[in-house]
Amino acid sequence: MTKPIQIAIDGPAAAGKSTIAKIVAEKLGYIYIDTGAMYRAITLKALQEGLNLASNEEVGELLKNTVIDLQPSENGQLVFLDQKNVTEDIRSQYVTKAVSEIAAHEAVREQMVHLQQQLAHGRGVVMDGRDIGTHVLPDAALKIFMSASVEERARRRFEENKKRNIDTPLEELQKEIAERDKLDSEREFAPLRKAEDAIFLDTTALTIEEAALAILKLTAERLK
Ligand SMILES: Nc1ncnc2c1ncn2[C@@H]1O[C@H](COP(=O)(O)OP(=O)(O)O)[C@@H](O)[C@H]1O
Ligand SMILES: Nc1ccn([C@@H]2O[C@H](COP(=O)(O)OP(=O)(O)O)[C@@H](O)[C@H]2O)c(=O)n1
């Protein structure tokens, strides 16, 4: 059997990373790790505990005393925060609006990267996020930088939210996505950036199936 590889998928909000990563991981029999869900989980806890979100030390300390666990499920992945299922809660606008501030802290990133590297160690893995190709898995055999126009990404998130009974207006979503992309791209530690050796994939005009197929083809070339 061919040795499994590591696949890193980075890109801005709602580009399709987790949807495509799940499909690719399932087809290959690899594990899927949604690193955004990990940053969302610690953000939820910081908000619940009324922490000063601007404090690197406070949030870093909180993470040291927190257990974040990702479990595969039929619909993708369940997220547990200190043993409690928070899969739905971490997608709320309340968390979404605060997550980029938390994810910018050095003490948070150091711990998360360490944890993510442990989860991926020695296994076939598809991992998605913002700094996977640049920091978490710099030696990944395949790196993808996935994007789409901000209008299309907002439209996709709007449709997704409708199914979850979240009714944020389209214009507000587009603004929130653009602001989060800016914060993620301009932060000091591990900003959102295409790794030099990553392949750019624009999904604006692609269906989910087409985007997944493009990555599966690139994977097959790496497995030869
Ligand atoms: N190529 C695509 N065409 C149409 N919709 C897509 C495509 N890729 C993803 N989506 C939809 O867009 C939404 C956001 O995708 P998601 O995978 O959550 O993005 P990300 O992980 O990059 O934030 C989901 O509802 C998903 O079903
Ligand atoms: N590897 C990662 C993954 C996410 N994040 C942060 O976590 C946030 C939420 O990530 P996500 O992937 O769940 O976001 P969506 O694209 O699904 O909206 C991002 O906006 C980043 O601030 C990060 O800093 N590094």
CA-closest residue to ligand 1 atom 16:
16
* pLDDT tens digits for range 58-67: 999 999 999 9
Q: Does 15 show up as a binding residue in the annotation?
A: yes
Q: Give residue 23 CA to ligand 2 midpoint distance, Å.
A: 19
Q: Does 19 show up as a binding residue in the annotation?
A: yes
- Using the predicted structure, report yes or no on whether residue 1 has a pLDDT greater than 70: no
pTM, rounded to two decimals: 0.97
With cut-offs at 50, 70 and 90, classify the pLDDT of residue 2.
confident
* Mean pLDDT for the chain overall: 96
With cut-offs at 50, 70 and 90, classify the pLDDT of residue 74.
confident
* pLDDT tens digits for range 174-201: 999 999 999 999 999 999 999 999 999 9
Residue 6's SS3 state is strand
CA-closest residue to ligand 1 atom 14:
14
Crossing angle for the helix pair 56-64 and 106-120, nearest 10 degrees? 30
CA-closest residue to ligand 2 atom 23:
130
Residue 161's SS3 state is helix
* pLDDT tens digits for range 144-181: 999 999 999 999 999 999 998 888 999 999 999 999 99
Single out the residue of 31, 58, 27, 30 nearest to residue 42, CA to CA.
58
Q: Does 18 show up as a binding residue in the annotation?
A: yes
* pLDDT tens digits for range 85-103: 999 999 999 999 999 999 9
Q: Are 30 and 152 in contact (CB under 8 A)?
A: no
What pLDDT sits at residue 34? Answer: 97
Q: Are 66 and 44 in contact (CB under 8 A)?
A: no
Ligand 2 site residues, Cβ closer than 6 angstroms: 13-14, 35-37, 39-40, 99-100, 103, 129-132, 180, 184
Q: Are 54 and 155 in contact (CB under 8 A)?
A: no
What's the rounded Cα separation, in Å, for the pair 42 and 49? Answer: 11
Average confidence (pLDDT) over 40-62: 97
Average confidence (pLDDT) over 28-41: 97
Atom index in ligand 2 nearest the CA of residue 136 equals: 1
* pLDDT tens digits for range 104-114: 999 999 999 99
Superfamily of domain covering 6-216: P-loop containing nucleotide triphosphate hydrolases (3.40.50.300)
